[in-house]
Amino acid sequence: MSGADQAVPGSPTARAEAAARRHGLPTFGAWRAALERRYTVMPPWYWNDRHCRENYISHVRAAIDWQRRERRINRGNASFQGSLGR
């Protein structure tokens, strides 16, 4: 990982990476590497470090929100399925 990929401790990117680790999501460097595999031509924001980090933070927040919604839905489904057996 290059120095540009390492988050400064306490920075928004470092906090996002810590949240990502807790939720099983990729680090900033791994997320960028996945983008490089995904795109043939990188989007313009990829080359702007600040904008790229903002997009990573947004990605982490969206993924965590999605995980929370899925957990809530799964709990509701489990409760419903349990009520059918009574």
Q: Could you read off the pLDDT of 6-17 as tens digits, one per residue? A: 678 889 999 999
Q: What is the DSSP letter of 10?
A: T
- pLDDT for position 8: 80
Domain that holds residue 48: 8-84
Confidence of residue 86 (pLDDT cuts 50, 70, 90): low
Q: Tokens standing for 58?
A: 């947004």
The dihedral formed by the CA atoms of 55, 58, 63 and 65, expressed in degrees to the nearest 10: -170
pTM of the model: 0.79
Domain assignment present for 3: no
- Is residue 1 in some structural domain? no
Does residue 67 sit within a domain?
Answer: yes
Domain count, the chain: 1
Please write the tens of the pLDDT for every residue from 18-63.
999 999 999 999 999 999 999 999 999 999 999 999 999 999 999 9
In a domain, 27, yes or no: yes
Give residue for tokens 């460097």: 29
